[in-house]
Amino acid sequence: MPRWTRRDLVKAAVATSAAVIGNRTLPAEATPSSSPTHQASQPAAPPTIDNTLRENLLMDFGWRFHLGNACDPVKDFNFGKTAIIGTFAKSGDSGGATGSHFDDSAWSQINLPHDWAVDLPFVLDNTLVWTGGKPLGRAYPETSIGWYRKPFAIPASDLGKRIRIRFDGIRRNAQVFINGQYLGQDPSGYAPYEYDVTDFINYGGDNVLCLRVDATLSEGWFYEGAGIYRHVWLTKTAPVHIASWGNYVQSSLRSGITGPASLRITSEIENATGQPADCTVHASILDPNGEIVATVRSKSATIAAAANSIVEMQATVTHPELWSIETPHLYRLVATVLLNGKPVDQDSTTFGIRTTRFDKDEGFFMNDKPVKIKGTCNHQDHAGVGAALPDRLQYYRVELLKGMGANAYRTSHNAPTPELLDACDRLGMLVMDETREFSSSPQALEELESMVKRDRNHPSIILWSIANEEPQQGTERGARMGRSMMEALNRLDTTRPVTAAMNHSWGKGISGVVDVQGFNYNLPDIDAFHKSFPDQPTVGSETASTVSTRGIYANDPKRGYVAAYDTEKPRWAETAEDWWKFYDQREWLSGGFVWTGFDYRGEPTPYHLPCISSHFGLMDTCGFPKDNYFYYHTWWRTEPALHLFPHWNWSGKEGQLIEVWCYSNQQSVELFLNGKSLGSQTVEKNGHLVWKVNYAPGTIEARASSNGKVTLVEKRETTGPAAKIQLQPDRTKISADGEDVSVINVTITDAQGRIVPLADNKVTFTLTGEGKIIGVGNGDPSSYEADHATARSAFNGLCMCIVQASKTAGPITIQASSSNLESSNVTIESAAATPRPKI
C-alpha cells in the first residue's frame, strides 16, 4: 500500500456529505481547503485520454523464480549469512539475491500471477490439511520461502518523472529490493503495497526488482497460496500528479431515479517537488457509450511543496443511465492536471450512478426498488491455478454465479483483487467488501484504509465488512476497536454502510457500532434480535454451509465424500432450504450470502484426510454445479425450472430403494420409471420433492406442469460404458495478449453421448498452436493429482483444462485422449488484440 502515515491519511481525507443508512446518519467531515469548483460553462481540458501524460505498465512478464530456505542461509542464496556487516547495515548492499549482478540464469522463468504453493507436493499431515495439504509453515522451511527477480529498463528520458511500483497482492510477508536497495517489508497477504522508486532507478540502463516472499506464517484457516499471485504495475507520472486511487466520484439523484444526477468529484493531487505548485484539474465524464456528457474544471489550487491536497468539483449528468444488477451501466471520469496551463498528468476511473439503502423494515433497496440479496461467500482460489487467477477467470466465476441466480458476492475474508471488482461492476454483481484483519492497530487501519480508497468507486460494492466471527466481537474491547475502524473508514467513504459478520453476541460489542447487523447462521436468534433492536437493518453475512460432493449420493468417510442431497451440514449450519425459506419469509432481512459459491482448497468438512478441499460449494473447485446449485437456480431465478437427481447408474442395487429428489418452481411434478407413473406431487415454494424408487435400470423421468399443461421434462438414464470424450470451451475466441484464457470443460460420455456419471478415465491433453495449458482439475476434494499438468482423471464424468493464449495470434487446438475412448479436439481462435502496456 502507499507508504502514508496515519496523519497523512487524516490530512488527505475526502470530505463527504451526511448520508442516511437505514435509520442511522453518518457524520459529515470537514470541507477540503482547496477551492471547490467551476461548472462546465468554463473552458475544459481536452477530454481524450492522453497516454503520454501517465504510463501504467504491467510488470507480469519475464520474472525468475526460485525457492529459498527459511532456516539455512546457504540454501537461501546466502541472504543474511554475513555476520561482520549486517544485511541492512549499508544502503544498497543487502546481499544474497537482492543485487543487480546476481546470476539468476538457473532460476525458473515465470509470468505473473504466480502461486508456488500449488506446485508443491501434497503432504498428508493433519497439521496441513486445514490449509490445503501443501508444505508451508515453520516445519517446512525448504518450501516456505520464494525469491523473485524481474529485470527491466527505464529510458534516460524518464529522469525527472516519478516512478512507482505497486503490488496488488503478495502472499506473504515480502521484503522488496530494487537494484540492491531495500524498499520495505509488506506483511499482508491481501493488501496492495506501493513504493516510490524514483531515487533508486538506473535511468538509461537496466534495473532489477527483487522480492523475498515468506509464506511461513498464515493469515487464514484455508488455502491462501504463496507468491506474487496478483498483478504488479509500474507507473510513471510528472512530479505533480493525481495520487494513487486519488480520484473519487460520489453521485446523488436529485429527484428520484429519473432525475438528473449530481456528481461530487474529488481529486487528490500530490506535489513531489520542493516548490508550491498552482494547478487546476479538468474533468470529463464519459457515458457508457464513451460519449462526453459533462465537463468541469476546478478553481486554481495551490499544493504545498512535498504535500498532498484535495481538489473538489461538481458536475451534472442530465439523463443518467443507472447501474443495476440487470443493467450495469458504467461511466468514466477522466481527470487532467494542468500546471501553469499545461497538462502534466491524467488519470481515469470507472464509476456507476445508482442509489442504495438498507431499510430496517423492508430490507435492501437499489434505485428505490426492493432487492433481496441472493449472495455467495467465496475464497479466491480455483482448480488448476491455485490463488493465481488470470483476470478472465474472475469473470468466468462471476458469470457462473449469475447463471445460478446469485446477485451478490462476499469477498471472504479479505480485500479482493481489483479485477474481481471490475468483473462485478461489468456483469452486475453486488459486493460485500471485507477487510482481512479486525483490528485498530496502525497496520490494520492502514490496510483497511487502502482497501477503501482503492475500491470506493466500484458501484458493485454495497457494504463494507470489518470483521468475521472474531473472538472480541461481543466485548467492549471489540466495540472500541470497531469504532476506530469505522472512524477510519468513514473519513474516506460514507456512501455505503458498514457491517460485521457475527456468529454470536448480537446486540453486544460491535453490534452497536456497525450500521447493518450481520448474522452468521443461528436462525433461531435472528427474530429475537430484530424484536429487541427493531431499528437496525440486517443481512445474512454468512448462511447455509451445507456440505456435498458433486455426483455422490451416499456418505463415504473412507474416500472423504459427502452425499449431494441437501441434508448434510455441520452443527452450526443450515440446509439450503431451511435458511432460504427463513430469509425469504422475512421482508426486513435484506437477504444473505451462502457459504460458499465454489469449493475451495483447505478447510475440509466434515472429513479431514483424505480430503484436501472443502465440500461447502454450490459448485466444485472447477465450477461444475452440484445439485444444491440447482436449488438456488430454481428459486432465485424467475424462469420455469426443473432439476432431477440422482443419476440412474446403480448396478448391483436392483430392487433397492433409491431416494429421488426434484427441484422445480412449477405447480406440480410427476415422476415416471420406465414409463410407469410413480405419482404426482404438488410443489411447495422454496421446497423440494422426494420419491423413494426401487431401482431398475432404464429411465426416470420428471414432468413438471403448470395450469394443467406439461411445461418441462427432464430424464436420467442408465448409460452404457464410457466411450467418448466431449470438449466444451467457455469461449472459442480469445485475445492473443499472453493473458486471456478459455476454460475447456470435458465430459466422458457413452456411445449415445450421455454423460457417464461414474467415469474416472484419465484424460491427456495435447495442445498445438499459439497457447499453453496452464492448469487442469476435476473437482474431486480428495484428489492429489497435479494442477499444473497435461493430464487429469475425470471425477464422476467431468474434468477440465485451462488454456492461455500466447502473444501471437493464431489457432490453438486442444486434443483430449484417453485409453479405449474416442478422442476429441477443439480449436480456440486467438485473435490479435491491443495488449496492456507492459514492461
The pLDDT tens digits for 559-606 are: 999 999 999 999 999 999 999 999 999 999 999 999 999 999 999 999
The answer to whether the 32-49+239-351 and 356-636 domains have the same CATH topology is no
Residue 321 catalytic?
no
pLDDT in tens, 313-335: 999 999 999 999 999 999 999 99
Residue 614 exposed, middle or buried by CB count within 10 Å (0-12, 13-18, 19+): buried
pLDDT at 10 over 60: no
The two beta strands, 19-21 and 24-26, are: antiparallel
pLDDT at 522 over 50: yes
The helix (H) or strand (E) run that includes residue 265 is: strand 261-271
The residue-averaged pLDDT of 514-530 equals 97
The residue-averaged pLDDT of 250-267 equals 90
Partnered with residue 824 across adjacent β-strands are 816
The residue-averaged pLDDT of 19-41 equals 34
**Looking at domain 724-831, which CATH architecture does it have?**
Sandwich (2.60)
- Residue identified by cell 454502510 is 497
Q: What is the pLDDT of residue 11?
A: 35
Give Cβ neighbours of residue 787 (< 8 Å, ≥ 6 apart). Answer: 118, 119, 383, 384, 385, 386, 775, 776, 777
Helices 418-427 + 442-455 axis angle, to 10? 30
pLDDT at 125 over 90: no
Q: What is the pLDDT of residue 20?
A: 31
Confidence band for 95, pLDDT divided at 50, 70 and 90: confident
Confidence band for 6, pLDDT divided at 50, 70 and 90: very low
Q: What is the pLDDT of residue 48?
A: 59
| Mean pLDDT (the chain, rounded) | 92
pLDDT at 49 over 80: no
The CATH H-level (homologous superfamily) assignment of domain 356-636 is: Glycosidases (3.20.20.80)
The residue-averaged pLDDT of 444-464 equals 97
The residue-averaged pLDDT of 253-279 equals 92
Q: Which CATH class is domain 32-49+239-351?
A: mainly beta
The residue-averaged pLDDT of 385-394 equals 98
Mean pLDDT lowest for which of 17-26, 551-560, 612-621?
17-26
Rounded to whole angstroms, the Cα distance separating 398 from 110 reads 27
The residue-averaged pLDDT of 180-191 equals 94
Mean pLDDT lowest for which of 3-17, 46-60, 112-126?
3-17
Q: What is the pLDDT of residue 462?
A: 98
pLDDT in tens, 642-672: 999 999 999 999 999 999 999 999 999 999 9
The helix (H) or strand (E) run that includes residue 747 is: strand 741-749
To the nearest whole percent, how much of the chain has pLDDT over 70? 93
pLDDT at 81 over 90: no
Q: What is the pLDDT of residue 91?
A: 80
Give Cβ neighbours of residue 72 (< 8 Å, ≥ 6 apart). Answer: 141, 142
Catalytic site residue from 194, 437, 447, 542: 542
- CA quadruple 679, 680, 682, 683: dihedral positive or negative? positive
Residue 306 burial (CB count, 10 A):
12
The residue-averaged pLDDT of 348-370 equals 97
The residue-averaged pLDDT of 251-260 equals 85
Q: What is the pLDDT of residue 82?
A: 64
Q: What is the pLDDT of residue 85?
A: 58
Residue 542 catalytic?
yes
Select 650-717's CATH number: 1.20.58.2050, 3.30.420.40, 1.20.120.330, 2.60.40.10.
2.60.40.10
Encoded amino acid at 71, one letter = C
Q: What is the pLDDT of residue 124?
A: 86
The residue-averaged pLDDT of 126-153 equals 95
Q: What is the pLDDT of residue 737?
A: 96
The residue-averaged pLDDT of 734-760 equals 97
Contact in structure between 489 and 448 (CB atoms under 8 Å)? yes
Confidence band for 84, pLDDT divided at 50, 70 and 90: low
The alpha carbon of 184 is separated from its chain's Cα centroid by a whole number of angstroms, namely 26
Rounded to whole angstroms, the Cα distance separating 240 from 306 reads 10
Contact in structure between 54 and 347 (CB atoms under 8 Å)? yes
Catalytic site residue from 142, 321, 469, 714: 469
For the chain, what are the domain ranges? 32-49+239-351, 55-237, 356-636, 650-717, 724-831
pLDDT at 831 over 90: yes
The residue-averaged pLDDT of 719-723 equals 98
Q: What is the pLDDT of residue 212?
A: 97
pLDDT at 47 over 50: no
pLDDT at 684 over 70: yes
Rounded to whole angstroms, the Cα distance separating 610 from 618 reads 21
The CATH H-level (homologous superfamily) assignment of domain 55-237 is: Galactose-binding domain-like (2.60.120.260)
Taking Cα atoms as reference points, which of 794, 788, 800 lies closest to residue 826?
A: 800
Confidence band for 430, pLDDT divided at 50, 70 and 90: very high
Q: What is the pLDDT of residue 35?
A: 39
pLDDT at 517 over 80: yes
